[in-house]
Chain A
Amino acid sequence: MTRFRWFLWGVVAVAAGLFGLFAYQLTQPKDEFIESAMIGQSIPAFALRAAVPDRPGLSSEDLADGKAKLVNIFASWCIPCRAEAAQLEVLRESGAEIVGIAIRDRPEDVSAFLQVYGNPFTRIGADDISEVQLSLGSSGVPETFVVDGNGVITYQHIGDIRPEHVRTILYQLREAGA
Chain B
Amino acid sequence: MKKLLLILAMLLVTPLAAQDNLPPAPFAYQQLEDPELEAMAQDLMITLRCLKCQSQSIADSDAPMAGDMRHQVRTRIAAGEEPEAIREWLIQRYGDYVSYQPRVKASTWPLFAIPALLVLGAILVLRGRLRKAK
Q: Which of B65-97 contact A (CB under 8 A)?
A: 65, 68-69, 71-72, 90-95, 97
- How many residues of chain B are within 8 Å of chain A by beta carbon? 31
Q: Does B119 contact A (CB under 8 A)?
A: no
Q: Helix, strand, loop or mixed for chain B's interface?
A: helix
Q: Does A23 contact B (CB under 8 A)?
A: no
Task: Fill in one digit per residue for A1-38: 1 if any B CB lies within 8 Å of its CB, else 0.
Answer: 00000000000000000000000000001001011111
Are A129 and B21 in touch, CB under 8 angstroms? no
Contact of A105 among B11, B22, B54, B69 (CB under 8 A): B22
- How many residues of chain A are within 8 Å of chain B by beta carbon? 29
Q: Does A173 contact B (CB under 8 A)?
A: no
Contact of B65 among A80, A106, A139 (CB under 8 A): A139
Residue on A nearest B65 in the bound complex, by CB = A130
Q: Chain B nearest CB: distance from A116 CB in Å?
A: 16
- CA of A77 to CA of B71, assembled, Å: 21
Q: Does A55 contact B (CB under 8 A)?
A: no
| Max chain A C-beta neighbours (<10 A), residue from B14, B54, B98 | B14
A104 and B64 in contact (CB under 8 A), knowing A29-B4, A77-B21? Answer: yes
Q: Does B40 contact A (CB under 8 A)?
A: no
Closest 4 CB pairs of A and B: A137-B93, A139-B51, A130-B68, A129-B25
